[in-house]
Amino acid sequence: MKLYRRYINAKDQPKKKAEPIPDKHGSYGALLFDRRWKDKRSLILTRDNNKCVICGFDEGLQVHHRQYLYVKALKKFKSPWEYSNKTLITLCSSCHQRGHSKFKVPIIYI
C-alpha cells in the first residue's frame, strides 16, 4: 500500500514545485464582489477614462494586476484592493486575455 501510494504521488507530482498563483483574477472569487474592490476598481476605471489602455475600447472593462504580491509572513496574497494604483490598469476583456496568454504576471514575495 505504501509503495503504491508513493508511486502515484511521484507520478502525479509536477516537476517544478507548484507556485501559489492566483492564476486568474477569477480565483480571487468572492473577493471581487467585495465593496473595497468595487471602489478600487472604479477608481482605476475613472483614472483610465473608462477605456482599455491598450486599444481604447470602452466595453467589458476589467482591471488587471500587473504584479501579485505574496506576503510571506502571512502566507497569502494581498487582497486585490490592497495594491497601489500604479500596479493596476484598465483593459478590455480581449486585451486582458491576450496579455495573460502572452505574459506571466510576476509574483513579488514580500
Radius of gyration of the chain (CA): 18
- How many chain residues are in contact with Zn ion, going by CB under 5 A? 7
Quick one: which segment of 10-18, 32-40, 82-90, 91-99 binds Zn ion (CB under 5 A)?
91-99
Q: How far apart are CA 17 and CA 82, in angstroms?
A: 27
CB 67 within 8 A of CB 108: yes
44 binding Zn ion? (CB under 5 A): no
Instruction: Annotate each residue in 51-90 with x if it binds Zn ion (CB under 5 A) or - if it does not, as one string.
Output: -x-xx-x------x--------------------------
CB of 73 to Zn ion, least distance (A): 25
Which residues have CB under 8 Å from 97's CB, separation 6+? none
